């Protein structure tokens, strides 16, 4: 109960900070009034159309990445799995860099290209990992992810070597991750893709416990292992691709948050998944608030912030847990 309260408070605090801070210095009272729709138009617009959707989007993406990481760790039975392990980041990168090299422009060109690239990589890895016509081999899933990543990064390297550097700065910055494009529209699009997978993954949380024991014991305890593995892989992939489309590639959250929760909470997925969502969301919303204030008006890539804060915290956790 104490732990859940702490997580709830952290989530609320992260969202509040996300709305309270920003390049425009607004006192908390003014922000509060603006949230309620009172005050001058500019302030209300900043708070209601920029800060709130941005904070909520950062929170939802962070939560989704953390849930995805937790699910993939159980699926491949490897605590080092994270959402980008399965070739997804490589595919997304190739999509984004390819779009820019081809001169595609428009608000949605980059995200859409990245999402398509990610989905392409997912399908490729999935095809590789289906053996004997029907069985999803999670070991090959891991290897396939590594292989596809290596291949896509080679092609990205080739495109970059042959393109004017200036043109690619956008793509690289975008890939490093951030929420500069956040709006109610991006939030709605993300939510449309995320709600269903999140619900299905939560519904499968007991089956994730079984799968962590191994596929054979899981089957004898009552899990339909093959359909389950496919569901988990596809839903985790959709979630990650949606996250990549709205925020680029934000590392670290999907690996470390599930780990931290596993250490503090244990490995029962019914508690682990919601807890990971709350902590991942808090971390990313908080990190985004820092990313846009520390060097304001410049914005740091949010992935840099999550790593800079998260790594030391995680190291302390690991030490404490080991002793």
Partner 1 sequence: MGKLVFATRDLTFQFAGARTATIRDVDLSISRGELVGIVGPNGSGKTTLLRLLLGTIVPDTGSVMAFGHPASQWKRRDLARRVGVVTQSEEPAFPLRVRQAVTLGRYAHLGPFEALGAVDRDAVAAALTRADAIHLADRWTATLSGGEWQRVRVARALAQEPEVLVLDEPTANLDLRHEMELFELVTDLVRHGMTGLIVSHHVNLVARFVDRIVVMHEGRIAAAGQPNDVLTLEVLERVFAWPLEIVRWDDVPQFVPKRKSSVR
161 binds partner 1 (CB under 8 A): no
Peptide bond into 297 cis (omega under 30): yes
Q: Considering only residues 103-142, where is the footprint of partner 1 by CB under 8 A?
A: 132
Q: Minimum Å distance from CB 216 to partner 1? A: 5
In this structure, are residues 145 and 85 in contact, taking their beta carbons and an 8 Å threshold?
A: yes
267 binds partner 1 (CB under 8 A): yes
157 binds partner 1 (CB under 8 A): no
Q: Please return the burial class of 239, using the count of CB atoms within 10 Å of its CB with bins 0-12, 13-18 and 19+.
A: buried
Among 210, 246, 253, 278, binds partner 1 (CB under 8 A): 210
Scored b (16 or more CB within 10 A) or e, 200-231 reads: ebbebbebbbbbbeebeebeeeebebeebbeb
In this structure, are residues 48 and 269 in contact, taking their beta carbons and an 8 Å threshold?
A: no
d(CA 310, CA 171): 25
Q: Which stretch binds partner 1 (CB under 8 A): 7-15, 38-46, 158-166, 198-206?
A: 198-206
Ranges of H-type helices in the chain? 2-20, 28-35, 41-45, 52-75, 88-101, 109-129, 138-162, 165-176, 184-203, 205-211, 215-221, 225-247, 253-265, 269-291, 302-322
Among 266, 294, 295, 312, binds partner 1 (CB under 8 A): 266
- List the x/- string, 8-47, binding to partner 1 by CB under 8 A: ----------------------------------------
Among 25, 37, 162, 216, binds partner 1 (CB under 8 A): 216
Q: Considering only residues 59-98, where is the footprint of partner 1 by CB under 8 A?
A: 73-74, 77-79
195 binds partner 1 (CB under 8 A): no
Contacts of 128 (CB under 8 A, 6+ apart): 140, 141, 143, 144, 147, 148
Q: Minimum Å distance from CB 17 to partner 1? A: 32
Residue 33 or 77: the one with the smaller Cβ distance to partner 1 is 77
283 binds partner 1 (CB under 8 A): no
196 binds partner 1 (CB under 8 A): no
Q: Minimum Å distance from CB 212 to partner 1? A: 5
Q: Minimum Å distance from CB 99 to partner 1? A: 38
Residue 248 or 274: the one with the smaller Cβ distance to partner 1 is 274
d(CA 27, CA 21): 9
For partner 1 (CB under 8 A), the number of binding residues is: 28
Among 220, 230, 295, 315, binds partner 1 (CB under 8 A): 220
- The tokens describing 163, both together, are 């393109």
69-249-231 Cα angle (round to 5): 40
1 binds partner 1 (CB under 8 A): no
Report the interface residues with partner 1, using CB under 8 A. Answer: 73-74, 77-79, 132, 203-204, 206-207, 209-210, 212-214, 216-217, 219-225, 262, 266-268
């Amino acid at each position: 109960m104490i732990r859940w309260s702490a997580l709830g408070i952290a989530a609320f605090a992260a969202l509040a900070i996300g709305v309270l801070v920003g390049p425009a210095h607004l006192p908390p009272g003014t922000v509060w009034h603006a949230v309620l729709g009172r005050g001058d138009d500019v302030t209300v617009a900043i708070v209601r159309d920029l800060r709130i959707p941005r904070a909520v989007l950062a929170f939802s993406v962070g939560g989704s990445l953390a849930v995805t990481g937790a699910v993939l760790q159980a699926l491949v039975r490897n605590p080092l799995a994270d959402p980008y392990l399965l070739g997804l980041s490589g595919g997304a990168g190739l999509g984004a860099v390819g779009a820019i090299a081809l001169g595609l422009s428009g608000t949605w060109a980059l995200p859409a290209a990245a999402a398509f690239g990610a989905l392409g990589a997912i399908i490729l890895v999935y095809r590789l990992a289906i053996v004997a016509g029907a069985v999803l081999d999670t070991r090959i899933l891991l290897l396939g992810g590594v292989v596809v990543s290596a291949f896509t990064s080679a092609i990205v390297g080739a495109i970059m070597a042959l393109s004017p550097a200036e043109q690619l700065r956008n793509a690289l910055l975008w890939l490093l991750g951030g929420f500069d494009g956040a709006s109610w529209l991006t939030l709605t699009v993300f939510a449309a893709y995320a709600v269903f997978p999140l619900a299905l993954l939560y519904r499968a949380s007991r089956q994730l416990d079984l799968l962590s024991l191994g596929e054979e014991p899981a089957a004898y305890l009552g899990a339909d292992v093959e359909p389950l593995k496919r569901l988990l892989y596809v839903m985790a992939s959709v979630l990650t691709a949606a996250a990549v489309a709205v925020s680029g590639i934000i590392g670290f959250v999907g690996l470390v948050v599930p780990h931290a929760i596993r250490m503090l909470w244990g490995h029962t997925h019914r508690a682990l998944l919601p807890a990971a969502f709350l902590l991942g969301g808090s971390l990313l919303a908080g990190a985004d608030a820092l990313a846009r204030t520390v060097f304001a008006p410049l914005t740091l890539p949010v992935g840099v912030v999550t790593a800079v804060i998260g790594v030391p915290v995680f190291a302390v956790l690991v030490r404490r847990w080991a002793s």
